[in-house]
Amino acid sequence: KPEISFRAEHSITAPTQLPKFINAADHMQLLNDLAAEESKVPYYEQSVIDKTRTGYDPELYADIDWVNAISKTAAYNTRANLNVNGGTDMLRYNLTGAVYSEDGIMKRDKSLSYDTSTGLMRYNLRANVDLNITQTTTMRFSAGGYLQKLHKQANSTETTWDYAFQTPPMVHPAM
């Protein structure tokens, strides 16, 4: 008589902490204050800072939180396993199938026609059969394999984070 077992798990992963950066208007004001301390000409006119602060024209006066623009607040993982065991004194079998799905924390760039988010989908299958040919001889057959689809960005995740951390919020609008 076969024994069937099933197990499913679902989890949510999130970064413990991401850095918070100042907004574009405060960034420009800070650069102007530093220039003033050194008796230099301000980098930005006050009208530009004011238009950025009020969101007058977000494409012309950008204020982008790059960390928020490229990442999600959480990602999801799902794992499911199905096992079937059984047999007789002479023949025993075990069949195992598994599915694993993982969403990454990086968002998809919707301005592109292809998926730039990160994720993984994997399917595993395994079969084991033991056959007692004699009391002292057992023939064992095992086969297994997996199929996996991984999608990710062209750059490493570390490089993408570096760009987000180094790009000032007012350089260009997010697409």
Write down the pTM of the prediction. Answer: 0.74
- Residues contacting 6, CB < 8 A, separation 6+: 80, 81, 82, 83
Neighbour tally for 70: CB within 10 Å: 22
Return the closest-CA partner of residue 53 out of 44, 62, 45: 62
- Taking Cα atoms as reference points, which of 14, 17, 10 lies closest to residue 104? 14
Three-class SS state of 64: coil
Say what the pLDDT of residue 115 is.
Answer: 83
Is residue 175's pLDDT more than 70?
no
Question: How many other CB atoms are found less than 10 A from the CB of residue 54?
Answer: 11
Q: How far apart are alpha carbons 98 and 121 in whole angstroms?
A: 11
pLDDT in tens, 21-70: 999 999 999 999 999 999 999 999 999 999 999 999 999 999 999 999 99
